[in-house]
Structure 1
Amino acid sequence: MHGKSASMHSGPLRLFHLSDIHFGLEDTRAIAWAKECIEREKPHAVAITGDLTMRARHPEFRAACEWITALDVPVTVEVGNHDIPYFNLYERFFAPYKRFKAIERMVESRLDLPNLAIVPLRTTTRAQWQRFPWSNGWVTQEALAQTLAAIDELPKGTRILIACHHPLTERRERDGKLLTINGTRTMETLASRGVMGVLSGHIHDPFDLTKATPAGPLRMIGAGTLSMRIRSTPPSFNEIVIDGDEIRVTARNLEQVATRDMQIDEVPENALPPRTPQEPVSPVGAVPPVDPPVH
């Protein structure tokens, strides 16, 4: 669970939060820009919250692993629903993370930084008896227990961020549709542990929301995509600055769109472009005229 630590540092910490790169359908201009930013600016760590690939094919994983291993900063990687084999059912059920081998030390790895830990939470499952398809999230009892055990190992007073793929919103507000199974209980449990925020992806639009729980508020921070499969915002990643107990989030993008114009105010069902008036859309409204290709 333990990732390599950054050097001791007494000032604010800066993280880059990337998600949904989708090698196989990556935006080559966007990933080149993101890599250049990492190389030039040297953030204290990079958190990648899943969906490295489009269809979990071997060439996609090779490209993703080569790209990630070239980053000369501490990295933690979460597993997204697109990263579990679609077509090889044996691997999906019995060796779902086999294709991560080149970066296995980074996968679901806790990063220990000066007075800050990024702790993984698995939200992706091989199958879900409650529904099909299995693209949305599920926090199993085992996954939550592993995360809580990692939190409890930390020295008292350590600031904590959780990294997962799916937003923890359990029900869609307007119609109660199930999104992440066991998300409500998980948010309350994390809030009770004093977690500063939860980093996630999956939606392809960035967001920065605070959810009320019986144990107190919990910050929910979502990164956009670096793929051609956009929803309503151009490709982006989050720059996150932790200064004491304050978190500042900037949705950085090549189009120079302001952060607030990039962020949506509600978690949608999936990453597909909004096609009905009820679907949340970012203020910039960069909705593609047709659904992006899925090969």
Structure 2
Amino acid sequence: MTAAPTLIRLVHLSDPHFGTENGDAVEAAAAAARALRPDLTIVSGDLTAEGRSQEFSAARDWLASLPQPQIVTPGNHDTPVWNLPQRLFWPFGRYRAYVGQPAAAGFLPGLTVRSLNTARGVQPRFDWSKGSIDLDAVRQAAKEMTVATKALKVFVCHHPLVEMTNAAVSGGVHRGLAAARLLAEQNIDLILSGHVHNPFSLALPWGDGKTYAVGAGTLSQRTRGTPACFLTIEAGPDTIRVAVQEWTGAGFEQGLVWALPRRRLGNYEKEEASLPLS
């Protein structure tokens, strides 16, 4: 038996869009993340603007400057925008070459995390930027996470599974509501995403009401009414504190903070001592 960590700290970054990145903000965010020494760094997609090799090369260098361990998932901009054959037959080939697998899993003491890719190269609808999710893969991820009964359970994807009424764009995830409900009913604590470029926090209406959809903003120049920003997440025994770290042009300052009631953990049991990624 291992004593429970008193606090789990996550840094959640998203949508740097290398090629249209805010250069000062992405460098400062990496420095801030290193200073925070998080238990896990999460990057929820749209590393690039157009899926070009040079953009992925810059993104890879930036990821290398962020604290380890990491969970990274692709976004809709991480497919080749203008190369239609690649979009059709090899949409995440460059992502795999420069970053790694589009889905990942891992355990830390007091934490279990899964990511799934909601981006698609092409879809049978006009707007290919919108998301889609495989419910069988969601069920499998939830099943794997529920084994770690006492851990903070975190699910990561690029597109929000539920729509934000104040967001400038829609995630439009096929089967998104069904996936969100499934995760809530399996007591997953956090569903982390990006895509809309506006930070948010929302308690989902299913299960015990203590599953939260949380979105990071952007670190690019493509802001949509809110500054470039990232999130810090600190999970204690009773509360999950989500804070927006806003770029001022000279540094990051804490903005909006959400204090989210956490479901009871009971006695902690060690699941794994390290974070293997797959």
Considering the TM-score relative to the shorter chain, is it more than 0.5?
yes
Deviation at 1:246, TM superposition (A): 2.1
The alignment status of 1:68 with 2:63, answered yes or no, reads yes
Quickly say closer, same or farther: Cα 1:240–1:257, change in 2 above 3 A.
closer
Q: What residue number does 1:220 align with? A: 213
CA distance in 2 between counterparts of 1:202 and 1:25 reads 15
Deviation at 1:247, TM superposition (A): 1.0
Residue deviations 1:199-256 (CA, integer Å, cap 9, x gap): 000010100111212x342311000000000001110000000112521000001333
CA distance in 2 between counterparts of 1:16 and 1:171 reads 22
The alignment status of 1:144 with 2:138, answered yes or no, reads yes
Q: Is the 8 A contact 1:14 1:45 kept in 2?
A: yes
- What are structure 1's unaligned runs of at least 5 residues? 1-7, 262-295
CA distance in 2 between counterparts of 1:258 and 1:226 reads 15
The alignment status of 1:258 with 2:236, answered yes or no, reads no
CA distance in 1 between counterparts of 2:10 and 2:149 reads 22
Quickly say closer, same or farther: Cα 1:16–1:205, change in 2 above 3 A.
same
Residue deviations 1:128-150 (CA, integer Å, cap 9, x gap): 22x21111111123442442354
Q: Is the 8 A contact 2:184 2:204 kept in 1?
A: no
Q: Is the 8 A contact 2:12 2:41 kept in 1?
A: yes
Q: What residue number does 1:229 align with? A: 222
The alignment status of 1:14 with 2:24, answered yes or no, reads no
CA distance in 2 between counterparts of 1:246 and 1:234 reads 26
What is the number of equivalent residue pairs in this alignment? 248
Q: What residue number does 2:173 align with? A: 180
Quickly say closer, same or farther: Cα 1:232–1:257, change in 2 above 3 A.
farther
The alignment status of 1:244 with 2:237, answered yes or no, reads yes
Matched residues, percent identical?
Answer: 34
Deviation at 1:120, TM superposition (A): 0.6
What does 1:40-189 align with in structure 2 at a 5 Å threshold?
Answer: 40-100=35-95, 101-104=97-100, 107-129=102-124, 131-151=125-145, 154-169=147-162, 179-189=172-182
The alignment status of 1:196 with 2:193, answered yes or no, reads no
Compute the RMSD of aligned alpha carbons: 2.4
CA distance in 2 between counterparts of 1:203 and 1:178 reads 7
Quickly say closer, same or farther: Cα 1:221–1:171, change in 2 above 3 A.
closer
CA distance in 1 between counterparts of 2:198 and 2:109 reads 30
4+ aligned runs moved over 4 Å, structure 1:
170-173
Q: Secondary structure at the match of 2:191?
A: strand
Larger RCO: 1 or 2 (CA < 8 Å, sep 6+): 2
With the length of structure 2 as denominator, give the TM-score of the two structures: 0.81
Quickly say closer, same or farther: Cα 1:260–1:13, change in 2 above 3 A.
closer
Residue deviations 1:69-101 (CA, integer Å, cap 9, x gap): 232421111110000112222222222222122
CA distance in 1 between counterparts of 2:254 and 2:110 reads 32
Deviation at 1:170, TM superposition (A): 5.6
Q: Secondary structure at the match of 1:16?
A: strand
Q: Secondary structure at the match of 2:26?
A: helix
